[in-house]
Structure formats: C-alpha cells, structure tokens
Structure 1
Amino acid sequence: MNIDALAATIQASEDFAPLTAHLGYLRDIAQPCIEMRLLDGVAAASASRFGGMPMVPAGFVWPTHAVGQYRFLGQINFSDIASPSALPSTGVLSLFYASDEDGECFWGDPGYVVAYYWDDPDQLAHVIASDRNPGHSAALDFKAGISIPRHYELRDDWPFDEYSQEADRVFSALWQLQADDYLLGYPSFDSLAYDPTPEKDWVCLMTLVSHETLQWCWQDGAKLMVFIHKDKLKEVDFSELRCDAG
C-alpha cells in the first residue's frame, strides 16, 4: 500500500476515521517497507523462504554459538523483491538465530542473529545442519508497503496528547494498517516501553512475529526486530546485526 492508497483507505472507512485529521502528519513520517507474506506452496531452491534448508556455497561451515548450533531463520533472494528499496537488488541473504533447548540464548546478546550475503545464487546449494531436522518451510511473497510507527516511543512529535482518548483511537486504527512481517520501516513490538533501535543511524532490517509453524517464539510469542547500521546496509555488509524482542 502506498501513501495515496492509505489516504483513500482512511477516508473511506469508519474504522480509520481517527486518522483523518492527522493524514498530513502521517504522510510526512511514513517510511517505505517491504511486506512479507507466508505462502502455502513450497519455495524453489533459490527462492525466498522462512525455515527449511538454506542455500549456501560449497565449504560453508554451519555457524555455532557458545551453547550449540544456530538455527536457520530464512533466506531472502533480493531478486524476488520487485519494488526498489534500500535493500540490494540481487543476491541472497541467509539468516540464522541462536537457539538452544535450555533457553540460555538471549535475543539482546551480540550475534543473536547472524547473516551471510552471497551475490551469486547460482553458486549455492542446499545444506542441512548435522544435528537438526530442517523443519517446516514457508515460501515468501513480497509487496511494497509503507510503515507508520504504531507506538508512542518511536516518535516525540505526535500531534496529540499521550495516553489521551484521541491517541488511543489513533493507535488502534494504525495497528490495522501494516503487515506483521516486513523488511525496513519502523520496528513494531508488543510489550516494550522504549524505542528498540540500538543507536542513531541504525535502521530496522526486519520485523518478524512469532510463527508456531516455524517454531518461532520471540519473547513469549511477541516479535523479533533485527537492526543494521544504515551505512553497512548501503555497503551490502550484513556482518553486524543487533536485535531486540518483545
């Protein structure tokens, strides 16, 4: 959904009436994002997916952390994304997250999510971690969208009083307007009472909800947010990511 479609949606629905008076403000603060939708079909080998088996080059060594192996989170084949964005236009990004049965891994720790970027998908092949069942896999569909913050903590210039009835109506309406899983844009969370963005010039790479079919449970069923420095994203360098969940 682009900003003009958003404006039309707001003006045509009683559910979004609380946003009408603030449409100009929302236009100013909206950021582009890429919405992700899980599909029922099986993804082609090099296609974007969550779960399953990663595509990696020959000789790839499965990543490990202090108490075990990483779990494969998913892969993004950037050529699957038709809409221009701050993301690379080609190449494959494979993401892994630290997981262990005893719950010793914490999403706020450095290296909770690690990523590997390869610019030539034709050189990749499937690999399976030696001690893990690859589990459920879900193909991904991408659509251009817009991201509007849905939490007080993400802005300090809201055009209404915090915790007012008007604010409650606005935020209730905003929650209906964005996908659960998306790339870029503002982070979104369930229970945090602060802006999870690590530092200035860091941006949200992706926001993911908990998915039972994928055995994802971020902070008691909440959301995982993965961040990258904007300069590193511009350089196509995914070697340092930071995370939060809630």
Structure 2
Amino acid sequence: MTEPTEPTESTPPPLPWNYTLFDFDADTTRPVIDLDLAPERPDTPTTSKIGGTPYLPESHPFPEDEAGPMLFIAQFNFDELPELPDFPTTGILQLFVRNDSLMGLDSPPLARYIEHVDAPHTGSLPSYEDYPGPMEDPEEGMPLTGTLTTMTPTFNCKDAWEIGSESGHVFLRRGEEFMTLHATDEHIVVRRGTDTGVPQIQELEARTRFPDGEWLNPTQVQEKIASLVAEAEADGFAVDESMQERIVDAPFGFGFIFALGGYPSFVQLDRRPPGDPTVCLAHIGSDEETIMFEDYGAANFFIHPDDLRARDFSRVTFSWDSA
C-alpha cells in the first residue's frame, strides 16, 4: 500500500470522497430554472442567450470598464422564462465580466437589469483586439429555453454550512439550543440554532483550516474539533450521539449546466467564505459547442436575497473555477 503524502503549503490534505451532511440539510430545496440550449430558436436582440449580441437600446450601450469593452456572458429575458420566486417577471438581465486574461475572476462583474424592453435595439458588439473570453466566437449567440424545477444540494454545491466530510461531524445540545461542528475542504464550520420542528440555522462562523497559509492535516483537524467540543461542553452543551444516525451521503452531481437560481455548482471550490449570505443568481457551466471556462470550468454569479427582491443588481459578485 502506498503511504499517503504529507500535505504541503500548496496541497490540501485528502478528504474522503463521500461527503456527508445531516438529513435536515439534505431535505432543503431551492427553485431553479434549468436552462437548455435551443439552437432552433432565432437569435434576436432580446432573446435569452449565451454569448452573441445582447439587447442594446440607446439608453444601455455596450458597457466598458477600465480594461475596455467587457465580455458579454449571458442574457435572460424574463418575459419568455417561467416565473422564479424573487426574480423579475419582466425585463432583461444581462451579465458581463472584465475582458482580461482571468476572464474577470478578480474583478467586479456587471449585472445589468433593463426593466422595459420597448426601445429599439441600436447597439452592436465591439471588436476586441484581444479576446480571452470563454466563447470561441463571441459574435455567435446560442438561444436558451427554461424549465422551472427544484434543486437539492449536492457534493458539488459546496455550500459550507451544508456539506461536510467524514473528517468531522458533531452535534451538541443545550436544552432547545443546538450546535453542529463539521469540516469542509477549507474550513471548520460552527453552526448554532434551536429546535423548533426542523432545526433552523441562526448563526454560522468559520474556523479556517489554513492559518498562516499552512494546511491543517487530518489529525490537527480532529484536534481542533475536539477543542471546540470541549469549549462547548464547558458552556453547558453535551454531545448528542443519536444525531450520528441522521448523517447521510451528500448526493453527487454537478447540478445544471446553465441555470437561474437554485444552488451554485463548482468544479473545485467555493471562493465565498462560509456564512456568506449571497445566493446563486446564475450558473454558467461549460459546453463544447458554446462556452468553455478553461478546462470544463463553471462560473457563478451571486446576489444578496434582499438585493434580488429589490431588483438591485449593483452588488452582484462573480467567480469561476476549472478542473
């Protein structure tokens, strides 16, 4: 048998493949619009699409930032899509990212909502001197259709407060209060809540696994969890061993290739810190015929639920990762 390698500063320690979660987390679902490529649909300026030319009325010219013309990723026309809770029911949402070698990874994106789609389309796609974008041909748009469905968290969602590994799962009680501890790829997560039917998560904090840039090895992770358990017990909590029977396997899956709402899906890791309140605005995966984020990567756009309900897309964030 090959001896396991010691983790280095740049290599995290291996964790079990079968990620697990408590059954009350596994039961959570979110509504989502599953978006499918529809090459049979005409590519008009207002069509929901990946790539191509977005709707550009005189009031909304093609956007530029410090790097020049941005990269157009996708457009969603809510008048032709199923109604999704908290999302607009009319108008168009457009997603742009910075045109640089990282395809906007470390720069703010632009999520632009055009509420009224009655002005004539007058703009055009810019000519790029250098186009590192994910589309092989930025001028060719691929229309989309959408189906409303639901989505449950899977291994590839990597929401830190839902997905953990077998390297640590502890449930403690103090009266009606409870606390859970578990380890993810990058964090040790502490959650608090109260028992009122289905447990409700009221507080979440993360204990990073790599202080000073160094990864904690599996033994150190267990030691850290043990110290947190000791702190909780000193505060009146007690480990509830019966909750071990409520740990289930996290479903394996990559969700949808293209989607609005639902859960994000990642190839490598979620760059948001645990407890980040943002939700998935849109997920754009890779498709050989249309769009490719490096090596079959995936992009996610995030928004705070309050901003989404207020139709405020000014604080949308963006990340993508690749195999």
TM-score, normalization by structure 2: 0.57
Query: What residue number does 1:139 align with?
Result: 143
Query: What residue number does 2:125 align with?
Result: 129
Question: Equivalences for 1:170-189 in 2 at 5 Å?
Answer: 170-171=249-250, 173-175=251-253, 178-189=255-266
Identity across aligned pairs (percent)? 23
Query: What residue number does 1:34 align with?
Result: 33
Mapped pair 1:88 → 2:75: no
Mapped pair 1:115 → 2:93: no
- Between Structure 1 and Structure 2, whose CA radius of gyration is higher? 2
- Root mean square deviation of aligned Cα: 3.1
Q: 1:62–1:83: structure 2 CA closer, same or farther, 3 Å change rule?
A: closer
Q: Which 5+ residue runs of structure 2 have no aligned equivalent? A: 1-17, 129-136, 169-247
Q: 1:67–1:186: structure 2 CA closer, same or farther, 3 Å change rule?
A: same
Deviations 1:70-97 (A, max 9, x none): 0221211111122342211101112212
Return the letter of the residue paired with 1:228: I
Q: 1:31–1:196: structure 2 CA closer, same or farther, 3 Å change rule?
A: same
Mapped pair 1:200 → 2:276: yes
Deviations 1:50-86 (A, max 9, x none): 1111112214332223322102212111111223422
Q: Contact (CA 8 Å) 2:75, 2:93: kept in 1 or not?
A: yes
Q: Distance in 2 between matches of 1:140 and 1:45?
A: 13
Deviation of 1:157 after TM superposition, in Å, equals: 5.4
Deviations 1:196-232 (A, max 9, x none): 36863311101111234334425x4311010011111
Q: Distance in 2 between matches of 1:99 and 1:146?
A: 33
Structure 2 SS opposite 1:55: coil
Question: Equivalences for 1:45-64 in 2 at 5 Å?
Answer: 45-64=45-64
Q: 1:240–1:33: structure 2 CA closer, same or farther, 3 Å change rule?
A: same
Query: What residue number does 2:315 align with?
Result: 240
Structure 2 SS opposite 1:213: coil
Deviation of 1:183 after TM superposition, in Å, equals: 1.0
Return the letter of the residue paired with 1:226: F
Q: Contact (CA 8 Å) 1:197, 1:227: kept in 2 or not?
A: no
Q: Distance in 1 between matches of 2:60 and 2:264?
A: 31
Mapped pair 1:213 → 2:289: yes
The farther-off stretch of 54-63 and 221-230 is 54-63
Query: What residue number does 1:228 align with?
Result: 303
Q: Distance in 2 between matches of 1:134 and 1:72?
A: 8
Q: 1:199–1:57: structure 2 CA closer, same or farther, 3 Å change rule?
A: farther
Q: Contact (CA 8 Å) 1:128, 1:134: kept in 2 or not?
A: no
Query: What residue number does 1:3 align with?
Result: none
Q: Distance in 2 between matches of 1:198 and 1:93?
A: 27
Query: What residue number does 1:4 align with?
Result: none
Q: Which 5+ residue runs of structure 1 have no aligned equivalent? A: 1-17, 164-168
